[in-house]
Structure 1
Amino acid sequence: MAKPNSRRPVVGIIGNAHALNDQYEVHAVGRMNSEAVADVAGCLPLIIPSDPRLVSVEDLLDLCDGFLLTGGRPNVHPSAWGEEETPAHGAFDRGRDAITLPLVRACVDRGQPFIGICRGFQEVNVAMGGSLHPEIRDLPGRMNHRMPPDGSLEEKFALRHAVRFTPGGVFHRLMGAEEVMTNTLHGQGIARPGARIVIDGVAPDGTPEAIYVRDAPGFTLSVQWHPEWQAGEDPVSRPLFHAFGAACADWAAGRRPVVTGVA
């Protein structure tokens, strides 16, 4: 008698290009991302090299049950929303752009789950037609959301500001609270929301911090902060990864959402 399929859902974690010792090129993800996927979401983490010469969106959609769009130092290139690059836009990773932006759109159409974190949050907005501010702290009335330059990891990932969710909205219902405390380690942020992007949580200065894609059949929750930090212990991170893991398990089991009226 055949045994039921008991494999863990596979989550593709989008890697970032790095140079070890300023010389040896690698694709890598932070260990805390893999641990959050394995230990909290209950899925099998798989590092994806974000280079269109090596992988295709079609291959990834067939291989993985869900995707984690990680944070990363390079930014989305502004040509993705029709602007010229400036020094304020920072460094770029065009290979990652070429993978993640069409991947997000394909997942939205199929109902395949993904979660966006920091740069990944920004990628979701850009993929849906939105734009980004190159430097949030330069805007009138905005706080500095960047990672502190000094200190331990505990100090850099410490809770630094509140995020208030839409009353009765998706994040409010998931978290069981209208307001939570989060870390903050980003320079850029949403300028113009993309089509169907719902801003469901904001920082005290009005910076968008939590979004999802309206009328998408699958899991599209994305956040500007870093929930992978101590994900199993943090009361905000844990329900987010639990819900993402459940969505990936549904996809792995063949329980497909009904795709109707998706633009």
Structure 2
Amino acid sequence: MTRPVVGIIGNQYLINDQYPAHAGGAMNSEAVSGVSGCMPLLIPADPRFVSVKELVERCDGFLLTGGRPNVHPEEYGEAATDAHGAFDRARDAIVLPLVRACVESGQPFLGICRGFQEVNVAMGGSLYPEIRDLPGRDNHRMPPDGTLEEKFALRHRVTFAKGGVFHRLMGADSVMTNTLHGQGIKRAGQRIVIEGHAPDGTPEATYVADAPGFSLSVQWHPEWDAANDPVSRPLFTAFGDAVRAWANGREPMPVLKSA
């Protein structure tokens, strides 16, 4: 059988500081193919090359990946500062309207790290430029040194709302996750339901209320070792089920409602 297609949002990079490329982490493709059971397709997230209309017609679901550039603060009505870091306005121009289109239709998407933040901004929310600068907050950034295993190691617990979507999906009210982000939710967007928090109060897991389809997002990186990690595997499995449902009839699979 032909596998359904998951569009993986790519990021812009310079190879050897001079050759422009669109790239995506191999672990994203591994998770989509090996756990979700779908065909990964890397998307050059730039309106010069693709449109939202084309993407929703050609893909069955979307993985909104992490990335070093941040959502430009103008997208949520704030001025850019040095603390906001680098930006990718081309990705903003594709992904923010893509999220809104998927929320409307029920086409499934899974947001990861920057993708988690994009979903919040797309729904009218805002972001803190640097979580570690806030009183009482921890440093959620990726460790600067060490192996990939050390950088993606489990570092803090995420606690879910009891009886909620993530609690039921994971079969636990708290889990251990990695953490590799600098920014985080400041103001939740309209219909954004925050169901998971880090110990310092940082939002870590959300979905879109009353969205007809799968709309889960997480601030950590579940694509790391997704086939073996007990937290990542159910997330990518549920996402794959939703993508297959969409591919089989262009009908949304509703996200689990809170009990």
The one of 146, 149, 169 equivalent to 2:144 is 149
Within the candidate set 44, 52, 55, 2:50 is matched to 55
What is residue 136 of structure 1 aligned with on the other side? Answer: 131
Within 5 Å, give how 1:65-80 maps onto structure 2: 65-80=60-75
Q: 1:9 to 1:198 in 2, by over 3 A?
A: same
Pick one of 101, 125, 130 that aligns with 2:120. 125
Residue identity over aligned pairs, in percent, reads 76
State the partner residue of 2:232.
237
Cα deviation code 1:58-117 (max 9, x no counterpart): 000000000000000000000000001000000000000000000000000000000000
Amino acid at match of 1:189: G
| Structure 1 portions without partners, runs of 5+ | 1-5
SS of the residue corresponding to residue 248 of structure 1 reads helix
Deviation, 1:257, is: 3.1
Letter aligned with residue 180 of structure 2: L
Deviation at 1:255, TM superposition (A): 5.1
CA deviations 1:128-160 (Å, max 9, x no partner) are 000000000000000000000000000000000
User: Tell me, what secondary structure is at the counterpart of 1:74?
Assistant: coil
State yes or no: 1:210 paired with 2:205: yes
Q: SS state of the match for residue 245, structure 1?
A: helix
**Corresponding residue pairs, total:** 254
Q: TM-score, normalised on structure 2?
A: 0.97
Work out the CA distance in 1 between the residues paired with 2:73 and 2:177.
27
Aligned alpha-carbon RMSD (Å): 0.9
Instruction: Please state how far the C-alpha of 1:258 moved relative to its aligned partner.
Output: 8.7
Runs of 4+ in 1 over 3 A off after TM superposition: none
Alpha-carbon distance in structure 1 between the residues aligned to 2:57 and 2:195: 30
Matched, 1:46 2:41: yes
What is the alpha-carbon distance in structure 1 between the residues aligned to residue 105 and residue 143 of structure 2?
39
Between the aligned partners of 2:195 and 2:100, the Cα distance in structure 1 is: 20
Provide structure 2 residue ranges, at least 5 long, that are not aligned to the other structure.
255-259
- The CA distance in 2 between the partners of 1:255 and 1:26, in whole Å, is 32
1:181 aligns with 2:187: no
Tell me: CA distance 1:227–1:213, structure 2 relative to 1, closer, same or farther (3 Å).
same
CA distance in 1, matches of 2:220, 2:172: 17
1:183-209: per-residue Cα shift (whole Å, max 9, x none)?
A: 000000000000000000000000000
Which of 235, 241, 247 in structure 2 is aligned with 1:246? 241
Question: TM-score by structure 1 length?
Answer: 0.96
Match of 2:19 among 17, 24, 42: 24
Q: For 2:253 and 2:172, locate their aligned partners in 1 and report how far apart those are by CA, in whole Å.
A: 29
